[in-house]
Amino acid sequence: MSATIISGAKIARTIREELHGQVAELTAGGLVPGLATILVGDSPASQLYVGMKNRAAAEAGLHSRQSTLPEDTSEAGLLDLIATLNADPEVHGILVQLPLPKQIDEAKVLLAVDPAKDVDGFHPMNVGRLATGDPAVLAPCTPRGIVEMLMRSGHDPAGKHVVVVGRSNIVGKPMAFLLLRQAPGGNATVSVAHSRTADLGALTRTADILVVAVGRPGTVTADMVKPGAVVIDVGTNRVVDLDVDRGYRVVGDVDFDGVQEVAGAITPVPGGVGPMTIAMLLANTVEAAVRLRGGGA
């Protein structure tokens, strides 16, 4: 058996086209959704991610602006900038690219962003709203993108056993909360595994849908997957490959070649979860703009 490939790149393109139409209508009505991104320091990976987010925002017709601060920025300096953006009526979404330099307390920064503009969904108030099942919350982009990808590829998680491998605040935990919600894209039976899970393979083999967010290539191999299962690979890992010019390849956490022989459907890396994450950032910004204007729950 060879699995169907769920192309996040293709689904994300469709979503971005839909958003483009929605943004055009809002703009005609005098509301231009605005995204402000903040990059502190000069990490090449963070620069790349923020650049991709701003480009995608501009392509969708959003107003987008990037603030780039030096590596030695003080916590107070960053909090000042966030306060300015919180008060700016042209800004509906604020994204602080993580990780932050060590002199800055990440928790304080996430708490400073206006929850109504928290398009990453990391403010504790939004985390709490997600955990209590609020259908109107701005949910973190990666897990929201995974739900959207499952629904649009015909794999409604309702009633299914979903095993999430990884319990981070960015992916694993919000993924579990979204899947548990009594709402479209939810109603799954969810298990969450992590590095202390006793027999990972025994658990993953019971999954109808397996979401893997670990950050280690080859974490899930063919023998750990139930035949016909849907496998979502969140992992984004650079592995050395001297056969390509840049000297590395990007791979997921799942042994793609082996697992695609067993799974019913699988996401590739790259071209799977990554593009969906960016599309959901745009969707969250548009939603935040509409709500801030007072046009929706």
Which residues of this chain interact with ligand NDP, rule CB under 6 A?
A: 142, 165-168, 170-172, 193-197, 200, 213-216, 219, 234-237, 273-274, 277
Q: Which is nearer to ligand NDP, 172 or 185 (CB)?
A: 172
- CB atoms < 10 A from the CB of 242, how many? 7
Backbone angles phi, psi at 231, to 5 degrees: -120, 120
Tell the residue number behind the tokens 């491998």, with chain if given.
Answer: 165
Do strands 248-251 and 237-240 pair parallel, antiparallel, or not at all (unpaired)?
Answer: antiparallel
CB of 214 to ligand NDP, least distance (A): 4
Rg (C-alpha) for the chain, rounded Å, is 19
Q: What is the nearest approach in angstroms of ligand NDP to the Cβ of residue 156?
A: 22
**Closer by beta carbon to ligand NDP, 167 or else 291:** 167
State yes or no: is 53 an active-site residue: yes
71 touches 101 (CB < 8 A): yes
Which amino acid makes up residue 98? L
Residue 47 falls in the annotated catalytic set? no
Q: Which residue is closest to ligand NDP by CB? A: 168
CA dist 223 and 213 (Å) reads 18
CB of 169 to ligand NDP, least distance (A): 8
Please say which residue, 81 or 280, places its beta carbon nearer to ligand NDP. Answer: 280
26/259 with CB nearer ligand NDP? 259
Residue 117 appears among annotated catalytic residues: no
Candidate list 22, 114, 118, 120, residue with the active-site label: 120
CA distance 142 to 135: 17
Cα angle: 47, vertex 49, 51; to 5 degrees: 65
The nearest distance, CB 215 to ligand NDP, in angstroms, is 3
Residues involved in catalysis: 53, 97, 120
